[in-house]
Amino acid sequence: MSPKISVIIPAYNEEESLPHVLNELPRDRLHQVIVVDNRSTDRTADMARENGATVVYEKRRGYGQACLSGMAALDDPDIVVFLDGDYSDFPEEIDLLLEPILAGEADFVVGSRMILEESRKALLPQARYGNQLAVFLIRLFFGHRFTDLGPFRAIRFESLQAIGMRDKDFGWTVEMQIKAVQKGLRIREVAVRYRMRIGVSKITGTVSGTLKAGTKIIYTIFKYLVT
Ligand SMILES: Nc1nc2c(ncn2[C@@H]2O[C@H](COP(=O)(O)OP(=O)(O)OP(=O)(O)O)[C@@H](O)[C@H]2O)c(=O)[nH]1
Ligand SMILES: [Mg+2]
């Protein structure tokens, strides 16, 4: 039997980009594609439904909350893939993330945007430097060398359950990486492509989003250092 792969896409006002994301995923091989909508004011939910995704509605805002609500809708998959809805990632590269898990060599695979020059350049400078600081601190405190906190990532469902994710907003990606190290998961990074988003930024494209996300990421690293 082929492994069941479920995809979770948090999306807030991504009506323009979401159809591209959904149509470039290899849908015939996916068990579930879940879009988590936080009361978008545009046609995000319609776009998700019209393009064949399962829509989960979540009232509480937050990237992590959206991921948690998406997880609550999982139907016993073998592998879970997280992907943004803004078409910055290249959905067809999902196989790069899945391969090490399917080969039995990894439990958790992070798509890094810091390896290919073209991807690195597509990151906003604040995201690039913020991520570099975060991965430096993770290496210093937890002893694992990541190069990025990329949103496009795959994890065995059993491992995802074992790490017990809790963060409800911007600490989500860093929490998963730190807990993966602490739990001794077999971690891999693969180089993924990245491009400027379609539509309006919700996080690092705004000053307040960058400040909030940066502060929360650094806070999360210190929080897991002392717990
Ligand atoms: N459901 C939900 N999705 C969210 C929320 N905040 C952000 N997102 C989605 O999470 C993904 C990442 O947000 P982005 O706005 O792309 O943030 P970013 O990638 O840091 O910044 P950009 O450089 O603008 O792409 C996108 O698919 C957003 O629509 C939220 O509160 N709820
Ligand atoms: Mg984005």
**Mean pLDDT, rounded, for 121-142:** 95
Q: Which residues contact 215 (CB under 8 A, 6 or more apart)?
A: none
Spell out which residues have Cβ within 5 A of ligand 2, the ion.
Answer: 86, 88, 197
Ligand 1 pocket residue status of 206, Cβ below 6 Å:
no
| pLDDT score of 227 more than 80 | no
Atom 27 of ligand 1, nearest CA residue = 85
- In this predicted model, what pLDDT tens digit does every residue of 52-77 receive, in sequence order? 999 999 999 999 999 999 999 999 99
Which CATH topology does 5-226 take?
Spore Coat Polysaccharide Biosynthesis Protein SpsA; Chain A (3.90.550)
Domain residues of the chain, as ranges? 5-226
Residues 6+ apart with CB under 8 A from 206: none
For the cut 90, the answer to whether the pLDDT of residue 7 exceeds it is yes
- The helix (run of H) or strand (run of E) holding residue 216 is helix 207-226
Q: Is 205 in the pocket of ligand 1 (CB under 6 A)?
A: yes
Mean pLDDT of the chain: 96
Strands 108-112 and 153-156: antiparallel
pLDDT at site 204: 83
**Residue in 15, 7, 197 with CA at minimum distance from that of residue 89:** 197
C-alpha distances out from residue 58 to 66, 94, 126, 149, 204, Å: 7, 25, 29, 24, 22
pLDDT of residue 157: 98
Q: Give the amino acid at 159.
A: S
45, pLDDT greater than 90:
yes
| Nearest residue by C-alpha to atom 6 in ligand 1 | 63
Beta-strand ranges (E) seen in the chain are 5-11, 32-37, 54-57, 79-82, 108-112, 153-156, 187-191
Among 33, 71, 84, say which to mutate for ligand 1: greatest number of ligand atoms within 8 Å of CB: 84
Q: What pLDDT was estimated at residue 199?
A: 86
**What Å distances lie between residue 14 and 36, 37, 46, 79, 85, CA to CA?**
11, 9, 11, 25, 6
Interatomic CA distance for residues 82 and 90, integer angstroms:
12
Closest CA to 109 of 74, 144, 152, 140: 152
**Whether the Cβ atoms of residue 62 and residue 51 lie closer than 8 Å to each other:** no
| pLDDT given at position 138 | 98
**Model pLDDT, residue 169:** 96
For residue 187, the one-letter residue type is I
The answer to whether the CB of 192 falls within 8 A of the CB of 89 is yes
Q: Could you tell me the distance, in angstroms and rounded to a whole number, from the CA of residue 84 to the centre of ligand 1?
A: 7
Per-residue pLDDT tens digits for 85-109: 999 999 999 999 999 999 999 999 9
List, for residues 158-214, the tens digit of each pLDDT value.
999 999 999 999 999 999 999 999 999 999 999 999 999 988 888 888 889 999 999
C-alpha to C-alpha distance for 52 and 32, rounded to whole angstroms:
10
The rounded Å distance from CA 85 to ligand 1 centre is 7
Global pTM value: 0.97
